[in-house]
Amino acid sequence: MDSFRNAVALGHLFLRERVRPGDRVVDATCGNGHDTLFLAGLVGTEGKIFAFDVQAEALAATRQLLEEHHCLDRVQLFHVGHEEMAIHVTAPVRGVVFNLGYLPGSDKSCITRPETTRAALEQAADLIQPGGILVAAVYPGHEGGGEEAAAVEQWAGLLAPQQYSAWCSRQINRSSNAPYVVTVQKSTLKDSARHA
Ligand SMILES: C[S@@+](CC[C@H](N)C(=O)[O-])C[C@H]1O[C@@H](n2cnc3c(N)ncnc32)[C@H](O)[C@@H]1O
């Protein structure tokens, strides 16, 4: 797989670097289930994935894909917005993935939105364990996408550097509307001491 092909593939590269068999992780926007399936491969049979989406058809598609790949057993699906993540996921997780925007091939009016995305990002940053990461594929190109992208960057840009490392990866040989990746790593105690 070409990890530098697009924003989602690059996000997967970062997740592959951190997530290990047996880990607990969150897919905050499961959509057609491709990210959930990718995470299922990383965490293996002993791991656990909490997957959220507001659309019933997205959850059905995710369920079907995971069944086809015999890994539904390690996934818990939630038909609720990711802004309720902290109600359903109460113990620390190693990684969280957001793939923002709309479900490809579906209703383009059902998009992730700045306020709920921001609320979910805050909860995700609290939930990740030290050394864990949050990866967001951000799409500024559709209507409303620019405002959401700005909200994501504003949120990540204000995280305390002693506690989090926030990165933005853009493909500079594409239009400024091209999808990109925001990655946030939570510092370990050792990292924080180095910063002090
Ligand atoms: C780009 S798609 C996700 C693609 C998916 N990760 C995949 O691999 O196929 C964005 C998804 O976010 C979902 N969504 C919109 N608002 C949401 C919210 N508040 N909480 C959770 N999911 C939401 C949409 O229904 C849509 O399925």
Q: What is the pLDDT along the chain (196 residues), one digit of tens a residue?
A: 699 999 999 999 999 999 999 999 999 999 999 999 999 999 999 999 999 999 999 999 999 999 999 999 999 999 999 999 999 999 999 999 999 999 888 878 899 999 999 999 999 999 999 999 999 999 999 999 999 999 999 999 999 999 999 999 999 999 999 999 999 999 997 877 776 6
**Which pTM was predicted?**
0.96
CB atoms within 10 A of CB 127: 22
CB atoms within 10 A of CB 85: 25
E strand or H helix at 134, and its extent? strand 128-138
Using CB distances shorter than 6 Å, the residues near ligand 1 are 29-35, 52-55, 58, 81-83, 99, 101-103, 110, 112, 116
In the CATH scheme, what architecture does the domain 7-195 have?
3-Layer(aba) Sandwich (3.40)
CB atoms within 10 A of CB 188: 13
Smallest CA separation from ligand 1 atom 6, residue: 30
DSSP output for 58-101? HHHHHHHHHHHTT-GGGEEEE-S-GGGHHHH--S-EEEEEEE-S
Ligand 1 atom nearest to CA at 55: 25
Distance (Å, whole) CA 97 – CA 95: 7
Ligand 1 atom nearest to CA at 139: 1
Residue 141 Cα to ligand 1 midpoint, Å, equals 16
Ligand 1 atom nearest to CA at 34: 8
Smallest CA separation from ligand 1 atom 20, residue: 81
